[in-house]
A and B are shown apart, each in its own frame.
Chain A
Amino acid sequence: QVQLQQWGAGLLRPSETLSLTCAVYGGSLSGYYWSWIRQPPGKGLEWIGEISHSGSTNYKPSLKSRVIMSVDPSKNQFSLKLTSVTAADTAVYYCAGSTAGRVYCSSSSCLFDFWGQGALATVSS
């Protein structure tokens, strides 16, 4: 069974870059889509974007100008960078995986069948 372990984030100052990495255990990067999702304190979930094992990306339009996702097949890891953070970016950030295929994905998007443990990013001056 695929498991995700993530690290990074913490306390950031406004305008800094948030960095997170997620390691995949029990499976390879191929055959899945890899996403980042965040949850501000006491609020709902927000999908940030996804990356495939080959490095193809799809970002939420409202965040696209600040998001960089990458994948490292040699380490079985994928990463998120969010630039120019503000207090509005304070949230728990989750990495998540979607099994590719028609069961869990439409032609446009996917659900998320496994998740990392989450990491809190706090943006404060």
Chain B
Amino acid sequence: EIVLTQSPGTLSLSPGERATLSCRASQRVSGSYLAWYQQKPGQAPRLLIYGAYRRATGVPDRFSGSGSGTDFTLTISRLEPEDFAVYHCQQYGSSPATFGGGTKVEIK
């Protein structure tokens, strides 16, 4: 199965700053079938990005995804207070679907 490694584990930033999150795969993710989710405490994950760069319905355009092959990035251009959360990447190009360990974006 494809192992996804997210870095950093924790990102400490201030509102208004730019956040760059990395997701690296142990093998090529076919078709760039890579998704990103946001999870807040006590809540289920929420789909943000699919197909590596496509924003899900209702997701603000400050969220953007990029990458292909084995290296993918989620960028939040200017952090809003509601953006402080845990972010998970997931590949769905092969079975079983797998997730990264998550990156926590916390207020500095």
Chain A residues near B (Cβ < 8 Å): 43-47, 58, 60-61, 94, 96, 103-106, 108-113, 115-118
Contact mask B39-63 → A, CB, 8 Å, 1/0? Answer: 0000011110011000010000000
The answer to whether residues A44 and B33 also contact, given A111-B90, A118-B44 and a CB cut-off of 8 A, is: no
Chain B residues near A (Cβ < 8 Å): 1, 30-31, 33, 35, 37, 44-47, 50-51, 56, 88, 90-102
The A contact surface, by secondary structure, is loop
Give the complex CA separation of A24 and B50 in angstroms: 23
Give the complex CA separation of A61 and B44 in angstroms: 24
> Residue of A at shortest CB range from B32?
A106
Is A45 in contact with B88, judged by CB distance below 8 angstroms? Answer: yes
Is B90 in contact with A108, judged by CB distance below 8 angstroms? Answer: no
Is B92 in contact with A105, judged by CB distance below 8 angstroms? Answer: yes
The answer to whether residues A110 and B97 also contact, given A44-B102, A45-B88, A105-B92 and a CB cut-off of 8 A, is: yes
29 A-B residue pairs with Cβ-Cβ distance under 8 Å, sorted by A, are: A44-B88, A44-B100, A44-B101, A44-B102, A45-B45, A45-B88, A45-B90, A47-B96, A47-B97, A47-B99, A58-B95, A61-B96, A94-B45, A103-B50, A103-B51, A108-B92, A108-B93, A109-B95, A109-B96, A109-B97, A111-B33, A111-B47, A111-B90, A112-B37, A112-B47, A112-B90, A113-B47, A115-B45, A115-B46
